[in-house]
Amino acid sequence: MMDMESWVITMNQRAREISRGGEEQRNRKRAYIYRLPAYVHIEQGDFVYRPYKVSFGPYYHGHESCQPKEVQKESCLIQFLARSGRPLEYFVDALADNVEDLKNAYDKLDRYWEDDTEAFLRLMILDGCFLIQILRAGCAFFYEDVSDRPELGTDEISVSEMEYYVHDMLLLENQLPMLVLEMLFSAENDYNRVTELILKFLSLLGTPVLRKEDTEREGMHLHVLDLYRRSLLNPEFRLKEKREKTRMQFGFNMGKKRRPQTGVDFNIPSATELHQAGMGFTTSKKTSLMDISFGRRTLKLPQISLDNVSKSSFLNIIAFEQLHKGAGNEFTSYIHFMGSLLQDSNDVSLLQSRGIIRTTLRRDEVAELFSRLRRNTVINPDKMLAYEYWTVARRVRLRFNKMSNEWRRDLFQTYLRSPWAIISVIAAILIFILTIIQTVYAVLSYVNRK
């Protein structure tokens, strides 16, 4: 039997473990940078969620593919300090005051980083400065401002190199808290906020970015991927009036949004099928992916630019929406909706001709891209589609069914209204077929005589 002293020690140890576990669970609820399950990496293959060249944050620090850039990070830090005119201690002290919040931003942070605060702060400063220098170098390179172009170690930045950097900074597991970038950047005065520099950089991708006043209204963004997502959704587009009008038309409860019941199919026909049924397509007036509407047999969709980075960045946005509570599912809904429209290259060609899709990819690649993305959009039954997309999908589907029924009704009333009319149609078809056969035989006989 356990003596009193051993029993007290054991009970206290178990209590501490429970307390530590509860604290870790509470911290995890505050996290917004997530580790993805191993099976997700296996399903999608290499580099969809893993960086090519550079690691930002703890998850891929020291990874084999990112190791060569670690030396460059120190060179960039020295350049950053020289440019800011402040000693390194200034930035260390600024981040140290918020170090627990920065650690809590990471889901399932390794014990090494939890215990070694100095190593964690060193990581945040090195990676944060390197990211800011990449943003500066990219903007200076593409806007041809040689005087403002920083060096990234010994490497001369190129278009191909920049594509790798863009890919790596838009990965969910490869994010830095925006708080780090804001604090590091606050010592410089070229831009009021680091978000402006990030948005200027993202605009090089053809991304419809937020305006300065929108970034201020939105408040602090969580990280670069979150800012990119919000840029695509673009909060300058306000849906309140349109939403209320639609709910009144359908007799919805004005107190809350009406949601589709679980199991209801809200897939829509492909773009080609809708076009053949008499529906048209045009671009929306605004750039927000939420600016979607349907009226007068015309579906209005926002313009979207697609490139080699789109697959990984879109999948990482979807993963973020699925993992982060309160993120919403607007982007996931957009992918689900477009995946229904784009079934093959003909659908892509149709939307390209209407200016809705801009891309350097082949049409079959775009169709495959949305097909693959859509397979990864798990619509939570509690959320279903975002309200705007659910409403439009419902209206398109109702209109398509009505137009299909009208076509069948016209056919029946015009040609199949009586048994004699049916016989006449069949006879006309047979005569047409026989005429074709006769023509073919006549041509063959003429060829044989020759």
Task: Write the pLDDT tens digit of every residue in 41-70.
Answer: 877 777 899 999 999 999 999 999 899 899
CB-count exposure of residue 8 (10 Å: 0-12, 13-18, 19+)? exposed
Question: What confidence tens digit (pLDDT) does each residue in 320-349 have?
Answer: 998 998 888 889 989 989 999 999 999 999
CB hemisphere CA count around 441 (13 angstroms): 6
Give the range among 15-19, 285-289, 388-392 with minimum mean pLDDT.
Answer: 15-19
- DSSP secondary structure, 202-239, as one string: HGGGT--PPPHHHHHHH---SSHHHHHHHHHH-TTS--
Give the integer Cα–Cα distance in Å for 353 and 242: 28
Decide: 357 and 304 in contact? Cβ < 8 Å.
yes
DSSP state of 66: G
The model's pLDDT over 199-252, given as tens digits with 9 standing for 90+, comes to 888 877 665 555 555 545 455 689 999 999 998 887 554 444 344 343 333 333
Span 342-362, average pLDDT: 94
Closest CA to 329 of 337, 153, 432: 337
Amino acid at 220: M
Token digits for 267? 């897939």
Residues 275, 281 contacting (CB under 8 angstroms): yes
Domain ranges of the chain: 1-26, 31-228, 250-403, 418-449
Dig out the tokens for 71 from the structure: 């030396």
> 147-170 pLDDT, tens per residue?
555 555 544 566 677 888 999 999
Does the predicted model carry a pTM greater than 0.75? yes
Contact by Cβ (8 Å): 193, 211: no
| 443-to-431, 433, 438, 439 alpha-carbon distances in Å | 18, 16, 9, 6
CA distances to 270, 294, 338, 345, 400 from 397, rounded to whole Å, are 11, 11, 14, 22, 5
Two tokens, residue 193: 């906020």
